[in-house]
Structure 1
């Protein structure tokens, strides 16, 4: 149960949030609107299956912004690994032509950016992510 940004779990009360950003391989602009919507659905499905939540996200043609929350036992690297790995596999299965647009058939760049977000800056990060598409 979430109240005032605090989540009450069986053994702890927490507010653990991450702003995660990663790009497509070679920053290729391959994520059209159709793929962006498919990715959003996939990311929400993955989060639910793997035990973390996505509060908000924005997907651009060449990169992704995710605002996620997780129990302290869920490693941030696990969140990234699940989102990138499963989404790439499923997108390539559903859209084999996508692999041809990318050298060596990798969807995501291997690196990513991550920062922890406390309640003070949570609103600022949400607005930043939600306004990504309007920035051009």
Structure 2
């Protein structure tokens, strides 16, 4: 009887630890576009007006559907292959790029280093958990 009780506790702790880690990983994930060996974070809240959109710099060549997946070239985990990428007038690509959405509007992709600086406090406040039993 005692062995069954201990086994049930160990299994419960293991399952709880795995589910907590999965939830934490999801909360740290973000939507991105990778271009020219740089990572840009994309947010629907950062629209780019048509008159600010500059020259075409390329398009998404690979859709990334798994976290940690290796990819080459221009990739995204939110935009499909063929999505057009542009410079933003008056802003270097070292700060951001414009991404054309399916409806023809543009949103800004912010270089991940800049995004991390702005959001570091939010990330460090995330609850981190360590799985038990692995």
Same fold (TM > 0.5): no
| Normalised TM-score (structure 2) | 0.25
**Higher Cα Rg, which structure:** 2
* Greater RCO (Cα-Cα under 8 Å, separation 6 or more): 1
Larger fraction in strand: 2
